Structure 1
Amino acid sequence: MSKNVLLSFKGNKQIDTEIKLTGSKSECNRALIISALSKGTVSVENLSVAADTVTLNKVLIELREKSLEFGNVSNLKSQISNLVDIGPAGTAMRFLTAFLAIQDGKFVLAGSERMKQRPIGILAEALKSIGGNISYEEKEGFPPLQILGPFKQTAKEVKIKGDISSQYISALLMIAPSLPLGLTLEIEGELTSKPYVEMTLAMLEQVGIRNDWNENTITIEPQTFNTAKLYVEPDWSAASYWYSIAALADEASIFLPGLNGYSLQGDSKITEIMANFGITSQFKDGGVFLKKEPKKVERKIFDLKECPDLAQTIVVICAVLGQDATFTGLETLKIKETDRVLALQTELAKIGVKFIEKNFSYKLDCSGLHFPEKITISTYEDHRMAMAFAPLALKIKEVEIEEKQVVEKSYPYFWDDLEKAGFETREI
């Protein structure tokens, strides 16, 4: 049975702390795939301890060991399928779909029950259009997948929608230099989460892989990886929760070492967003200092198209501060770990706030905002729900977060770090 955690914050709401964050899950997952594709010429430093990354790393190590043992995994006895179970790790599902498609062998790529509800068809069909041998074990367009090698490329050009998940695009771009013909990828429509695609290309460039991005078309020719090390920066997504804590505290001075102002991570945009709430970001001494300064919040519209993983954090901050803000760029939220729009609507209602959807935009109605003595927050197996709502303990006497362990997906030490900052946590 899963445990819950009860949060409280007693005394003055003054936060003065230093928090060392784990490596970026987004960067690390890309680095691990690139390293595996390079067959060892690329190494990875500052591995993330996020559960998703641990899962992906374990899978890649096991695949490499099998490949070494049998020459290649297609030689396994009787062509028995290699079951690759990634549990709830969504990024691993997308990246491994492309990675396994170009490997020798027979694989079944599976995950949790929730993973079976998260679409993969757009990526699978794109891979099939250039020669991938992929079929759906259960429901059309959804995991689990059966993937058969060896890969025989039949085409170089592929089209993919840009407004569904940038991870589909990143998955294709990472395997592109290993394809016999390379890849020309045409992005149809508006590109959601563009910084994540830019991150992928920048990391490929760090290991010698060139690309040509012309308007909506990205071309990568067949190339070999240089010998290189990819250093993974601390996680800006995790940093966002400390910006939230700073915004809801009376006073705050927080140092996050290792973060820099020229990050590849799209979620580094949190510095710009939180300036609207009086949280300054000063880069010095090898990290970033967050400081709260008195400021009236004036910004009313937030476009989160390029950083959708910040959505829950920013929406909750605005709701708690009573700001009737409007949000755009949330198109991908319904196919994440849970339907994040519905989850936000349900949990915000517990403090009297409405999150209203209308014509692809979302508006907060904080007219009924109130803070009860105690609140219980459901997480829906979504790590970001737990961490986005945890700072409410600065406004509500007792905040119970269900499924304490859910944060392991991206930020395993979150509860411990809250204690360092003065929060009281109790497992129940």
Structure 2
Amino acid sequence: MAKHNIILTKPGKMANGTVQLTGSKSECNRALVIEALSGGKVKVENISDAADTVTLAGILRTEVREQELEMSSQGNSLISDLQSPISEINIGPAGTAMRFLTAYYAIGDQEVILTGSERMKQRPIGILVDALRSLGAHISYEENEGYPPIKLKGNFEQQTRKISIKGDISSQYITALLLIAARLPLGLELHIEGDLTSRPYVEMTLAMLKQAGIQHSWQDNIITIEKQDFAETSLWVEPDWSAASYWYSIAALSDEAEIFLPGLTSYSLQGDSVITELMANFGITSQFKNGGVYLTKEPKPIFRKIFDLKECPDLAQTVIVVCAALGHEASFTGLETLKIKETDRILALQTELAKMGVKLIEKGQVYKLDCSEKQIPQRMFVNTYDDHRMAMAFAPLAILIPELEIEDADVVEKSYPAFWTDLMKVGFSIA
């Protein structure tokens, strides 16, 4: 399929308007797995229209799964009578779906092959597979060791309740294990080795499980969840703070901005709500009232020189691009997971920022912007590398660059399908 490029322009440097964001992809994907594991006791409200979530919902909410799931009371089957065995499930580029479904099907009866896009086949899954194997799952690799596609053979028999997993890898591995923990006959005692990357995402998972009746304990580096039943409840999905980050970027690059984002709260489960604190460095005030958050821009010198993004890596592209556009030579840490995302986001950032004369220099685990040769071109073409966040992080540059061409505009459907339409609501033009 041919890629659909667009040209963005933004007359004036003001941004005013109201934007209704879709439901959080992170919350929704967790909620859908909880719904399926709960036997129909948990219902999900305000489901995201992000492509990744649509993919996951389409798999979990088949005609059979829409009926109340009947949990087996005999033997070792944890998920029974869902449907006849599925030979292959292709989740495309949906990384979260790959991790969560690996754990979900690992404790079931069906023989399933999980596969995805070519990029998905390059994204490691070995750490999660090893952890599930140690619990008792039967999983094999169909092509390359440590990478999808994988075959899950069912007939799960739990061998242990204690497993260890590194904390400085994708938090989605940890979340996948926590989501299934309450359905394990022996429960789960998860030991996290070393520093925990993206801790807020793990906290989000545990908070949502608690809303669904699943209790846990977290002592030092050990998270324990006993075998227990889900409660009958509804999980309401908050609007997506990751999507909100692009509106903060727009406000930061504008001379004047007044933007209202309904539904967002100051007590969010989402770690990316830290964008309110990060963007305060660029003069953006967040005022929570009238059922949402108002963003306003005030002229302010930028003093912060180091941004630690370990707990919010999905905000990295947004913050780095804003700093580069403003010529602010900041340093960034906590970017270790960016190289195994939808693309190598470090390399992608380095390549695209170079088109503005800006360098992102890697020194060990620290990345520093060199803006000494920065220039704002009259026209710039942005490659997106099949990465939704590359498209949306660079789009606000149209405020500064008279003609900004974005490759493969449809890539935003992965997390924020209405992004381009919403941009037009605040004065962007698209051709």
Fold conserved between structures, TM > 0.5: yes
Q: Distance in 1 between matches of 2:58 and 2:83?
A: 21
Task: Give the aligned partner of residue 234 of structure 1.
Answer: 239
Task: Give the aligned partner of residue 187 of structure 1.
Answer: 192
- Superposed structure 1 runs of 4+ greater than 2 Å apart: 62-76
Task: Give the aligned partner of residue 28 of structure 1.
Answer: 28
**Structure 1 residues 82, 73: closer, same or farther in 2, change over 3 A?**
farther
> How many matched pairs?
422
SS of the aligned residue for 1:82 comes to: coil
Q: Distance in 1 between matches of 2:109 and 2:3?
A: 39
Read off the aligned partner of 1:253 and give its amino acid letter: E
SS of the aligned residue for 2:155 comes to: coil
Task: Give the aligned partner of residue 368 of structure 2.
Answer: 363
2:207 to 202, 210, 219: 202
1:61: how far off?
A: 1.6
Note if contact 2:40-2:67 (Cα within 8 Å) is conserved in structure 1: no
1:404: how far off?
A: 0.8
1:312 to 317, 320, 328: 317
Task: Give the aligned partner of residue 349 of structure 2.
Answer: 344
Q: Distance in 2 between matches of 1:64 and 1:175?
A: 20
1:15-50 C-alpha deviation (Å, 9 max, x unpaired): 110000000000000000000000100000000000
SS of the aligned residue for 2:129 comes to: helix
Task: Give the aligned partner of residue 43 of structure 1.
Answer: 43
Note if contact 2:39-2:69 (Cα within 8 Å) is conserved in structure 1: no
1:114-171 C-alpha deviation (Å, 9 max, x unpaired): 0000000000010000100100000000000100112110110010000010000000
1:158 to 154, 163, 179: 163
TM-score by length of 2: 0.96
Task: Give the aligned partner of residue 76 of structure 2.
Answer: none
Note if contact 1:132-1:153 (Cα within 8 Å) is conserved in structure 2: yes
Q: Pairwise mapping of residues 67-86 of structure 1 onto structure 2 (< 5 A)?
A: 72=80, 76=84, 81-86=86-91
Q: Pairwise mapping of residues 152-301 of structure 1 onto structure 2 (< 5 A)?
A: 152-301=157-306
| Structure 2 gap segments, 5+ residues each | 73-79
Q: Distance in 2 between matches of 1:162 and 1:119?
A: 15
| Structure 1 gap segments, 5+ residues each | none
SS of the aligned residue for 1:180 comes to: coil
Read off the aligned partner of 1:41 and give its amino acid letter: K
SS of the aligned residue for 1:62 comes to: coil
Q: Distance in 2 between matches of 1:366 and 1:6?
A: 25
Read off the aligned partner of 2:209 and give its amino acid letter: L
Note if contact 1:101-1:147 (Cα within 8 Å) is conserved in structure 2: yes
Note if contact 1:66-1:73 (Cα within 8 Å) is conserved in structure 2: no
2:424 to 405, 419, 422: 419
SS of the aligned residue for 2:88 comes to: strand
Read off the aligned partner of 1:60 and give its amino acid letter: L
Q: Distance in 1 between matches of 2:150 and 2:60?
A: 17
SS of the aligned residue for 2:192 comes to: strand
SS of the aligned residue for 2:200 comes to: helix
Note if contact 1:73-1:105 (Cα within 8 Å) is conserved in structure 2: no
TM-score by length of 1: 0.96
Q: Distance in 2 between matches of 1:63 and 1:113?
A: 29
Note if contact 2:331-2:368 (Cα within 8 Å) is conserved in structure 1: yes
**Structure 1 residues 277, 74: closer, same or farther in 2, change over 3 A?**
closer
